[in-house]
Amino acid sequence: MKYVILIPIYNDRESLKLLIENINNEVKGLNHEVSIVVINDASSQQIIDNYPNIENIQSIEIVNMKENRGHTRCIASGLKYIFEKKEFDYVIPMDGDGEDRPEEIKNFIELSKEVGEKSIVGERVKRSEGIIFKVFYHFHKFLTLAFTGQSIKFGNFTCLSKLTVKMMLDEKATWNSFSGSLKKVEKKLISMPSIRGKRYFGPSQMSFFNLLKHSLSIISVFRKTVLIRSALFIIFYILLIKSYASAITSLPLVLLLIMIYSISSLALRENIEEFNNSLTNIHDIDKIK
């Protein structure tokens, strides 16, 4: 079996080096071909490094992009590159900072042998962030479930079959939301427990604003369902408060309208033409091994 680990990176050289070394240690003795494709999202710092002891990894390529297009589009471009340029059975996208733990890669690989061509997601059972972030994260999951009917408890750390990758490449939402698109195209995902690790270096890059944008991007994938549920909520709520209308009781409606506007704006990021042409953003490719 051939597994390609897809790592998007931006200005995090030290973390990438440590991650690749840890991956090399974790895949030892698995008797499968493991390769790494790093998508360098136009980093302003040097990404290339020396990797003297990577005997358990078949190959490492660093795909350097011309323009920074963000984390999600970095992964989408990587999926397209791997599908068109590499031989593989599964792709394992993971963050390059250590928050996706390399010791769980072997769990993905072992489970993939049991489930055939089905794709696997790492369902978060424990997180390493502070209490405030955890509260907002749980609110994000509740908001997604309430307005889309979809329970999405996973991020980028997954194990995608070749068939699933092909479906995601045909779905324009992949250009805007990885997990939302995956949930949309693949109805029979297999879940595996996953613990969110700590960054190797520096603070987490997932701020409150980024979490909010991430949440609304997922919701925007299912905007038709959101509009129907929102309309029903508005009708019910107006009937409920018609005798007690005030600025305070109207606040939920204002917030809902702001959310609808936001997801409509984010949905405009879904561009299949840009997605199909994403490999033209490649500047060059460094083959480390």
Contact 86, 127 (CB under 8 A): no
Closest among 85, 106, 80, 87 to 165, alpha carbons compared: 80
- Listed in order, strand segments (DSSP E) in 1-66 are 2-9, 33-40, 60-65
- For the chain, the straight-line distance linking the first and the last C-alpha, in angstroms and rounded, comes to 19
What's the whole-number mean pLDDT along residues 129-157?
Answer: 81
Contacts of 30 (CB under 8 A, 6+ apart): 106, 109
Rounded CA gap, 276 and 174, in Å? 11
Coil/strand/helix, residue 181:
helix
Question: Distance (Å, rounded) from C-alpha 113 to C-alpha 122?
Answer: 16
Cα 3 to Cα 157: distance, rounded to the nearest angstrom: 14
- Token look-up 């509740």 returns 142
pLDDT-derived band at 243, boundaries 50, 70, 90: confident
Q: Which of 93-97, 165-169, 215-219, 240-244 has the lowest mean pLDDT?
A: 240-244
> What is the pLDDT, as a whole number, of residue 133?
65
Confidence of residue 248 (pLDDT cuts 50, 70, 90): confident
Label residue 11 left, alpha or beta by phi (over 0 means left) and psi (-120 to 50 means alpha).
Answer: left
What is the model's pTM?
A: 0.90
CATH number belonging to domain 2-134+150-203+271-287 = 3.90.550.10
Assess whether pLDDT exceeds 70 at residue 130: no
79-83, 144-148, 219-223: which is most confident:
79-83
Among 23, 59, 72, which residue's Cα sits nearest to residue 182? 72
pLDDT of 59 strictly over 90:
yes
C-alpha to C-alpha distance for 143 and 40, rounded to whole angstroms: 32
> Which residue, among 163, 169, 170, has the nearest Cα to 116 in the 3D structure?
163
